[in-house]
Structure formats: structure tokens, C-alpha cells
Amino acid sequence: MINSLRGMNDIICDERFTYFLQTAERIAKNYGYCYIETPILEETSLFKRSVGESSDIVGKEMYQFIDKGENDVCMRPEGTAGVVRAFIQKKLDRAGGIHRYYYYGPMFRYERPQKGRLREFHQFGVESFGVESVYEDASVIAMIADILDALGIGYKLKLNSLGCKECMPPYREKLISHIESVEEEICEDCKRRKTTNPIRVLDCKNEKCQELYADAPKLIDNLCESCAQDFDKLKKLLQSYDIAYEIDTNLVRGLDYYSKTAFEFVSDGIGAQNAIAGGGRYDRLVEFLDGKPTPAVGFAMGIERLLELVQMPQTKREGYYIGAMDEESIELVLQLAHQKRKNAKVVAEYKKKSLKNHLKGADKINAKYCVVIGENERNDKTVWVKNLEEKTESIIPQSEFLA
């Protein structure tokens, strides 16, 4: 028997999965976002330039290969880079104006599978281009809160500011100075990050490193006046939306094009890997990928991580089950089912069965109506209908049933 690859699961009639997508999509549209879909395969250079060659994603986790045309390609490990590439390729960066997109689909990372983390996983995300105001940051955060609230998922919001190209360089020098003062005791990853991405040391999961960085300078204490004002305004906006938050000075995005707002939603219900959504502002990424400088902000959330937390609404009966009592009525059943499907959900049974078994079949698929045709109904051009919610039954003309 051939099994699926490790860390890659089938999704079969998963109502939670489809309910999540329907809910997130509905709310994204309410915020004025439209759907975008980018290819699963992209040039590897896209992610080396966007995610960064020093990142674990690029260095260790990408599904990368040379295709038959000698192109260096990979299966997308995240969604933002592809959306930005499409934004530039379609010359939307030069068109001006505001562009807001939402997306969902599979992503791929070669890492050890564990609870809520697969090698093929699915993300839902949004990207907003052309709005520099912190009001857009607050709106994006509010959208996540609305999605999680609608799904019945509890959360905590962590918030930080990464400054800008004015206040980040002097802060980086202060941080490097602190790292060098404890360099003999930090882990090898942090030693490497000191030269490639020093701000990422703050995100190190090594407990000893975290103790050594406890006295490190905090970025929010070194913001320029503009960044400090924006961060204060963001906090006030979230308070006005009744969205609780906590400041996490170790919450970072380690690449140069990230700026100002960084945020992460976490949940206690999914184990050690508790992040369920995250994002921030990346005003320089479009420029990094050879586009016209364009302010941007967005987020992504891992769908598999959230599914077991989703509170499903009470399932209501819907649609029709239609079946025949004798062989002669089967073709009529199929004809009526075909016509009725133009305005309703209909499941047709291809075999003749007793009334009792038809009722069981309708109940099994949670149909609202059980419709049965036998000899009498066929001759009279009627159907027998039972409303399984109200427990009422009647015989009505076929024309009325189709109407």
C-alpha cells in the first residue's frame, strides 16, 4: 500500500476546514479585501531575497529543486513573497492607490512534523499595499480578532514596534554591543545571528540566552519620535476596539524591510507551538524585490493549528434526500433530482428501498426533507415528502416540489 508522505495529510470532507475558510473569507471581504491566488512553484531567488538566506526557512526547510528547464525553483514556504511578486509583476506598484488582497492555500516546509505543524500546511493571509497610516495596522489586527471571535477561539495579542530605517541602525549597534558583552555564553545560533541578523537573537528559544538578554536594550525605548507616536496611536486604537494586548519586546521580524508594527496572536490550547497568527508592517519589501517603494502590512495564520480550536455552530438540517420505492420510479427520481439541484442541495439514492430505509438514509446525511416516489406517486405525478425537522409529512404535486 502506498501512503501519503510524512507530514502531508489528506483533507476529506472536513467541515471545520471549510467552515474556517468560509468564515475568514467572509470577514476579509467585509474589510474590503479581494481574492488573490499565486502559484505554488516560484523561483527560489524570490524567497532568498524576501525571507532571507540567513533564515531557517531558506537555509533548512524549503522544498527546492532544479526543474527540467534547469530553473532553480521551490514550493512556496509562505504566502507574502508570492503576493508581492505578483503585485510588482502586474505593475500595480506603479499604478498607485490602495490594493488589498486575501489568499489561502498550501505552503511547504521540510521540518519535523508535530502537533499543528505539517510539511504541507495551509495558511490564510491578507496583504494591504499603499496605506502608510497606522490605522491600517489596527484594521488588520482587528480583522484577525474578528475571525478568531467568529470561530470561538480564545487568544492573546502580543505587540511590538520594530522602528524604522532611522531608529533601527543606532539600536542595532546598541544590541550588538550587548551581545558581544555576553558572547562567550550564548548559543551558536545567536553567535551566527550577531553578524547576519542581530535582532533575531531576541527571539532565541534557548533559556540561558533569554536570561542573558534580559538586560539588553529594548527597541521600544529607542524609537524615533515618529515611530513612538505611531505605536502610541496603535495602542489607543486597539483599546478603542476593546482588543486587549500585551507588549512583548522580544517579538521581532529580523529582516531589514520590516518596520514599525509587529504582532502575534497566541493561544494556550495548542501546546508549545502556541502562535496562531502573526504579521506586521513591511514598508520596504516591495522595494527589496525591485518594485516602487510601497507601504504594506499583512498577516498569515496557520489553518491546521487552529482547527481543533474552532467552535462549530450547531449543525442544521439542509437539503433533500430523494429515493424510489420501486425500480420503475428510479429514473423519475433522478430526473426530479437533476431539476431540483438548480435551486437546492439534493442527494439521490440509485437503488429502490423501503420507506424505513429511505428515512434512515435521509437522517444519515442530515437532510431536512426526505422525498420518496413509489407506484402511486409516479402515476399521480406527486411525491411524498417528510420534513425531518418538524416531523410532518405530506403528498404534493411534482410541479410544486420543483417550484
pTM of the model: 0.89
**From CA 93, how far away is CA 343, in angstroms rounded?**
42
**From CA 287, how far away is CA 259, in angstroms rounded?**
13
Longest dimension (CA), the chain: 93
**From CA 358, how far away is CA 377, in angstroms rounded?**
15
Mean pLDDT by 10 residues, the chain (403 residues): 92 94 98 98 91 72 92 94 97 96 96 82 97 97 98 95 90 89 86 82 85 87 94 97 94 78 88 82 94 96 92 91 97 97 96 97 96 96 96 96 93
**From CA 208, how far away is CA 217, in angstroms rounded?**
17
Per-residue cell: 351: 437503488
**Close Cβ partners of 12 (under 8 Å, ≥ 6 residues apart):** none
- Residue 257, phi then psi, degrees to nearest 5: -85, -10
Contact between 170 and 62 under an 8 Å Cβ cutoff? The reply is: no
Work out the number of other CB atoms within 10 angstroms of the CB of residue 44: 17
Angle between helical axes of 134-150 and 225-240 (0-180°, round to 10): 30
Contact between 226 and 164 under an 8 Å Cβ cutoff? The reply is: yes
Q: What is the pLDDT of residue 274?
A: 84
Contact between 94 and 280 under an 8 Å Cβ cutoff? The reply is: no
Residue 179 half-sphere exposure, CB side, CA atoms within 13 Å?
23
Contact between 89 and 286 under an 8 Å Cβ cutoff? The reply is: no
Residue 152 half-sphere exposure, CB side, CA atoms within 13 Å?
10
3-state secondary structure labels for all residues of the chain: CCCCCCCCCCCCCCHHHHHHHHHHHHHHHHCCCEECCCCCEEEHHHHHHHHHCCCHHHHHHCEEEECCCCCEEEECCCCHHHHHHHHHHCCHHHHCCCEEEEEEEEEECCCCCECCECCEEEEEEEEEECCCCHHHHHHHHHHHHHHHHHCCCCCEEEEEECCCCCCHHHHHHHHHHHHHHCHHHCCHHHHHHHHHCHHHHHHCCCHHHHHHCCCCCCHHHCCCHHHHHHHHHHHHHHHHCCCCCEECCCCCCCCCCCEEEEEEEECHHHCCCCEEEEEEECCCHHHHCCCCCCCEEEEEEEHHHHHCCCCCCCCCCCCEEEEECCHHHHHHHHHHHHHHCCCCCEEEEEEECCHHHHHHHHHHCCCCEEEEECHHHHHHCEEEEEECCCCEEEEEEHHHHHC
386-393: which pairs have CB atoms within 8 A and are 24 or more residues apart?
386/359, 386/362, 388/317, 388/359, 388/362, 388/363, 389/317
**Close Cβ partners of 352 (under 8 Å, ≥ 6 residues apart):** 323, 324, 325, 326, 327, 329, 330
